[in-house]
């Protein structure tokens, strides 16, 4: 699997980073930086990329531009990076699930991520809230579990599509809580959340920004969060880990470079991205977008991706995902 291979490749990156920087033909960066995003404008990775672009231009001394390359489950953006020079001037800003899930559901990938990419920096983690329509007769997670057990299969949930992190999170929750609810897949959260509001589905997992307005208007109720710890956005909402030990499906938001990128470029990029992520100018905007800022080295990112891949693989097996 890609993430496991990337985590293994971190060892070679770490070795390179530990060595003195060798003379470069040109000081890095020597031209504008491209942040490639595998989704259309407005999504979470796009929001993160635009914040990074704004904050990195000063420290790097070069323009930083965002390029949206949606399509193919992320393969278009990944191919863009794979076909770019390995000089650190083109980076991929994406979410961990895109990297972990794609190899599980696609037999023929247009790129070999294990060979093509190396970790640069972990931006942060993004939790998803379990939200139910206001008409659902459950105000707590315990009440939802009791309702689902009393009427197996009667309740349904919407997801952002088969194999999405929303789908796999719910399947893992179902097993952990011993309940059965019916899956209704949609084409992205842009369709599943409106279906929740309209009463076409009873519950969804979704990001905080897409839900909070409806929570404030009383149209939906938040019953749980899929991260290991509670969110400052809704501190009274319990984690699923409080009912299912070890449950954590908050996903990583990451930055990758092409394999072969000079060690000094990776070192510089990782350090500057971490500074931005932890700066006062970025912390609140990131949290408002639903991201818990972390930052981190390539080694830390590799470890985080490895753990995420293990969780996703187990959930995919439960959901009986098949590569097509």
Residue 28 burial (CB < 10 Å; 0-12/13-18/19+)?
A: buried
pLDDT at 159 over 70: yes
pLDDT tens-place string over residues 168-185: 999 999 999 999 999 999
**Distance separating alpha carbons of residues 71 and 61, to the nearest angstrom:** 31
Q: Compute the distance between CA of residue 242 and CA of residue 230 in angstroms, rounded to an integer.
A: 10
49/66 Cα distance (integer angstroms): 7
Q: What is the mean pLDDT of residues 214-222?
A: 97
75's enclosing H/E stretch is helix 75-82
- pLDDT above 90 (res 11): no
- pLDDT digit string (tens) for 279-304? 999 999 999 899 999 999 999 999 99
Residue 18 confidence class, pLDDT cut points 50, 70, 90: very low
CATH number of 129-242: 3.40.190.10
State the chain's mean pLDDT as an integer: 88
| Residue 275 pLDDT grade (very low, low, confident, very high; cuts 50, 70, 90) | very high
Tell me the torsion sign for CA atoms 32, 33, 39, 41. Answer: negative
Rounded to two decimals, the pTM is 0.81
Q: Where are the domains of the chain?
A: 2-126+250-318, 129-242
Are the folds of 2-126+250-318 and 129-242 the same? Answer: yes
Integer Cα distance of 140 and 212 in angstroms: 17
pLDDT classification of 322: cutoffs 50, 70, 90 = low
**Residue 24 pLDDT exceeds 60:** no
Q: Which tens digit of pLDDT belongs to each residue from 75-104?
A: 889 989 999 999 999 999 998 877 777 777
Residues 6+ apart with CB under 8 A from 77: 36, 37, 38, 69, 70, 92, 94
CATH hierarchy code of domain 2-126+250-318: 3.40.190.150
């Amino acid at each position: 699997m890609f993430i496991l291979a990337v985590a293994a490749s971190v060892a070679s990156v770490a070795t390179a980073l530990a060595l003195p920087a060798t003379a470069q033909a040109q000081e890095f960066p020597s031209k504008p930086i491209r942040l490639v995003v595998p989704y259309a404008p407005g999504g979470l990775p796009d929001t993160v990329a635009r914040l990074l672009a704004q904050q990195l231009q000063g420290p790097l001394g070069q323009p930083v531009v965002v390029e949206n390359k949606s399509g193919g489950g992320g393969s278009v953006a990944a191919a863009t990076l794979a076909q770019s020079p390995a000089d650190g001037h083109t980076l991929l800003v994406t979410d961990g699930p895109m990297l972990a899930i794609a190899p599980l559901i696609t037999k023929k990938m247009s790129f070999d991520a294990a060979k093509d990419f190396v970790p640069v920096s972990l931006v942060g983690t993004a939790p998803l809230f379990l939200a139910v329509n206001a008409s659902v007769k459950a105000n707590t997670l315990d009440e939802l579990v009791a309702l689902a057990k009393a009427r197996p299969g009667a309740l349904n949930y919407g997801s952002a599509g088969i194999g999405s992190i929303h789908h796999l999170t719910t399947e893992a929750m179902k097993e952990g809580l011993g309940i059965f609810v019916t899956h209704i897949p949609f084409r992205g959260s842009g369709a599943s959340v409106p279906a929740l509001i309209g009463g076409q589905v009873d519950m969804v997992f979704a990001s905080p920004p897409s839900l909070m307005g409806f929570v404030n208007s009383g149209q939906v109720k938040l019953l749980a969060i899929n991260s290991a710890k509670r969110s400052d956005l809704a501190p009274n909402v319990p984690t699923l880990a409080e009912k299912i030990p070890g449950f954590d499906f908050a996903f990583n938001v990451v930055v990758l470079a092409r394999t072969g990128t000079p060690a000094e470029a990776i070192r510089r990029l990782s350090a500057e991205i971490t500074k931005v992520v932890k700066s006062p100018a970025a912390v609140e905007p990131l949290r408002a977008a639903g991201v818990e800022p972390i930052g981190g080295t390539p080694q830390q990112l590799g470890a985080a991706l490895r753990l995420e891949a293990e969780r996703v693989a187990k959930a995919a097996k439960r959901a009986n995902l098949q590569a097509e």
